[in-house]
């Protein structure tokens, strides 16, 4: 069975991708499984550039077909910030903690009126095969609002899911609280992976 390297250092992302790709006949392996411990400096100006950078670098290091992603939180009233800086919004030299990001978001949004609190989580997936110059990318987003207070629920590695509220659902973007039907309709990572499945299946 062919292997697919899931190139993320986030355990929550890894588990979610493995769950959504469980019906694809590929052996899903992690960076830890193949002995890669180095992280990559994300120097791209866009989510797509960063996703491609990670996919290409890890594919070369592992000699495996590689899937990488990049994404972040984009707030309308802050001109799309934090965007590609979503994990280093508070500290420029290191990743911020989940609680720092949550608290800082509400500090920045303190004076923004309710009608202008639109935001979205955006994700880009990049698929690379070793020695093949072709890169496949897909993009998905989920829109909602930044409410006046965050959710009391936390999911390690996913701080913005405690911030993004989906009015039509009456719920935060909390994957644990979603019904299977809501996951199908709203989970942006699942929707992005569904776009890639025909390509992955053809490569098995």
Domains and CATH numbers, the chain: 3-202 (3.90.950.10)
CB atoms under 10 Å from CB of 187, counted, come to 20
User: Residue 95 pLDDT > 90, yes or no?
Assistant: no
Q: Are strands 165-166 and 171-172 parallel, antiparallel or unpaired?
A: antiparallel
Nearest to 71 by CA among 83, 57, 56: 83
Answer yes or no: are the C-beta atoms of 158 and 189 closer than 8 Å: no
Catalytic residue among 70, 79, 93, 111: 70
> How much of the chain exceeds pLDDT 90, in percent?
79
User: Residue 86 pLDDT > 90, yes or no?
Assistant: yes
**pLDDT for 131:** 86
Measured distance CA(101)–CA(3) in Å, rounded: 35
**Residues 64-73, mean pLDDT to the nearest whole number:** 96
The tokens for 176 are 């644990």
User: Any catalytic annotation for residue 79?
Assistant: no
DSSP 8-state secondary structure symbol assigned to residue 82: B
**Residues 198-202, mean pLDDT to the nearest whole number:** 92
What does pTM read for this prediction?
Answer: 0.91
**pLDDT for 143:** 97
**pLDDT for 169:** 94
Model confidence pLDDT, tens digit, residues 107-126: 999 999 989 999 999 999 99
Q: Name 30's Cβ contacts closer than 8 Å, sequence gap at least 6.
A: 5, 6, 8, 14
User: Residue 133 pLDDT > 90, yes or no?
Assistant: no
11-20 and 188-202 helices, crossing angle to 10°: 60
**pLDDT for 52:** 97
Q: How far apart are the first and last CA of the chain?
A: 7
User: Residue 176 pLDDT > 90, yes or no?
Assistant: no
Model confidence pLDDT, tens digit, residues 138-172: 999 999 999 999 999 998 889 999 999 999 999 99
User: Residue 41 pLDDT > 90, yes or no?
Assistant: no
- Residue 187 pLDDT level (bands cut at 50, 70, 90): very high
**pLDDT for 197:** 95
């Amino acid at each position: 069975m062919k292997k697919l390297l899931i190139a993320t250092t986030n355990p929550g992302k890894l588990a979610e991708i493995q769950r959504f790709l469980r019906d694809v006949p590929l052996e899903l392996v992690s960076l830890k499984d193949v002995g890669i411990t180095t992280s990559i400096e994300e120097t791209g100006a866009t989510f797509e550039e960063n996703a491609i950078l990670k996919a290409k670098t890890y594919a070369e290091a592992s000699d495996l077909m590689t899937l990488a992603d990049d994404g972040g939180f984009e707030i309308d009233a802050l001109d799309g910030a934090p965007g590609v800086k979503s994990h280093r919004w508070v500290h420029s030299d290191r990743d911020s903690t989940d609680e720092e990001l949550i608290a800082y978001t509400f500090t920045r949004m303190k004076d923004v009126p309710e009608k202008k609190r639109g935001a979205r989580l955006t994700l880009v997936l990049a698929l690379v095969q070793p020695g093949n110059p072709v890169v496949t990318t897909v993009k998905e987003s989920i829109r909602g609002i930044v409410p006046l207070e965050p959710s009391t629920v936390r999911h390690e590695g996913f701080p913005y899911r405690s911030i993004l509220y989906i009015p039509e659902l009456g719920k935060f973007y909390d994957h644990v609280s979603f019904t299977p039907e809501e996951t199908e309709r709203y989970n942006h990572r699942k929707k992005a992976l569904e776009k890639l499945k025909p390509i992955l299946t053809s490569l098995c």
